Amino acid sequence: MESTFDLLTLALLRGISPRATRELLSRGPLASTLARAGDHADLLGPRAIEALRAGAARRHLNAAKVIAGFRCSPVFSRCSFPLSKS
């Protein structure tokens, strides 16, 4: 599930082209790529690097999770969809 959120984080960064996304994915695990954004400045660009360093990308992702109806537990780093009431 965490890799899905890494992909969503990448998708929420402004100015990242599909080609850059493919290149980043080919460089190894996305979590480590996002954690070491400065090492990938050639594809991410300064705006995306700053958003990752400042935590803005993660805040946007958390807001998107709320909008999508996820319930997340920061203690266990697990998210799930709420159960629908019938």
Q: Of the candidates 39, 82, 33, which has an alpha carbon nearest to the alpha carbon of residue 57?
A: 33
Burial of residue 57 (CB within 10 Å: 0-12, 13-18, 19+) is buried
| Domain count along the chain | 1
Q: Is residue 70 part of a domain?
A: yes
Q: Where are the beta strands (DSSP E) in the chain?
A: 71-73, 78-80
CA–CA distance, 55 with 62 (Å, rounded to integer): 11
Q: Is residue 86 part of a domain?
A: no
CA–CA distance, 14 with 45 (Å, rounded to integer): 10
DSSP symbol at 40: G
pTM of the model: 0.61
Q: Is residue 20 part of a domain?
A: yes
Give tens-digit pLDDT for 40-77: 999 999 988 988 888 766 676 666 666 666 555 555 45
Domain encompassing residue 28: 2-80
Say what the pLDDT of residue 40 is: 94
Q: What is the mean pLDDT of the chain?
A: 76
